[in-house]
Amino acid sequence: MAGPQCCAHPPTLNPSVGAGHVEKVGGLDTYVSGSPDSKLAILLVSDVYGYEAPNLRKLADKIAAAGFYAVVPDFFYGDPFAPDNAERPIKVWLKDHGMHKGFEDAKPVIEALNSKGVSAIGAVGFCWGAKVVVELGKSSAFIKAAVLCHPSFVTVDDFKEFKVPISILGAETDQLSPPALLKQFEELLASKSEVDSFVKIFPKVAHGWTVRYDVEDEAAVKSAEEAHGNLLEWFAKYVK
């Protein structure tokens, strides 16, 4: 299921970008932004390009400015996907960086946040990260709300066990989660009266648009910012 769109428009990684800083959280190098005294945290789970992507860190800073403690762990241990490495195409890279391992690695991060006094955690996943967030959302013990942005590897069956409020933000042009699949997600979630859900398909954008947009493209920035606003509204409603 990892197609060309999964890796399109790679960001220029920058370890020093952002208003926050990197520290160890739950054993992982993690970009953190916002007040460490906040009782509300948002876990951002990146796409295959990892936690040094500038637009991702910019979004973490925006989430922090809304009053949350934003944490972006390096689930790839310094080994994000490198599209120019012909010896490790995406399918080979994924063998070393499976989503289930990401889910297991997220647990100590959540434990570390809880141990420092955080009372509620939300999680947003992008592409690869969406599958990790889906696994977290199958138990209300981990997170209180979830947002998926242009998910990869997520299936209808994943939502049968889902336990927390979920917002799914998808693209009109997306081979990994096309609108028809998102409609199936929406129908299944609508049948679960105990789980609040929201599904939105953004027109004229492609997979990856929320964090891999061109900052010089006014329309792309506007679409990304609309999605960012939607996810902040969701977390403001359910992570409190």
Q: What is the pLDDT of residues 76-114, one digit of tens each?
A: 999 999 999 999 999 999 999 999 999 999 999 999 999
Give the closest residue to 62 by CA, choosing from 227, 237, 216, 238: 227
The stretch 17-26 carries a mean pLDDT of 98
Share of the chain above pLDDT 90, in %: 96
Whole-number pLDDT of residue 240? 95
Give the closest residue to 22 by CA, choosing from 68, 62, 78: 78
Q: What is the pLDDT of residues 6-17, one digit of tens each?
A: 788 999 999 999
The stretch 166-182 carries a mean pLDDT of 96
Whole-number pLDDT of residue 1? 45
Task: State yes or no: pLDDT of 2 exceeds 90.
Answer: no
Task: State yes or no: pLDDT of 166 exceeds 80.
Answer: yes
User: Alpha-carbon distance 94 to 113, whole Å?
Assistant: 27
Whole-number pLDDT of residue 3? 58
Q: Give the strand order in the sheet containing 197-206.
A: 21-25, 28-33, 69-73, 40-45, 120-126, 145-149, 166-173, 197-206
User: Alpha-carbon distance 83 to 95, whole Å?
Assistant: 15
Q: What is the pLDDT of residues 204-238, one digit of tens each?
A: 999 999 999 999 999 999 999 999 999 999 999 99
Whole-number pLDDT of residue 8? 85
φ/ψ of residue 51, rounded to 5: -90, 0
User: Alpha-carbon distance 238 to 240, whole Å?
Assistant: 6
Task: State yes or no: pLDDT of 60 exceeds 60.
Answer: yes
pTM above 0.85, yes or no: yes
Segments making up each domain of the chain, as ranges: 4-9+19-238
Give the closest residue to 40 by CA, choosing from 118, 115, 142, 123: 118
Domain 4-9+19-238 fold:
Rossmann fold (3.40.50)
Kind of pairing between the strands at 145-149 and 166-173? parallel
Structure tokens at 177: 């989660």
Task: State yes or no: pLDDT of 22 exceeds 90.
Answer: yes
Q: Give the mean pLDDT of the chain.
A: 96
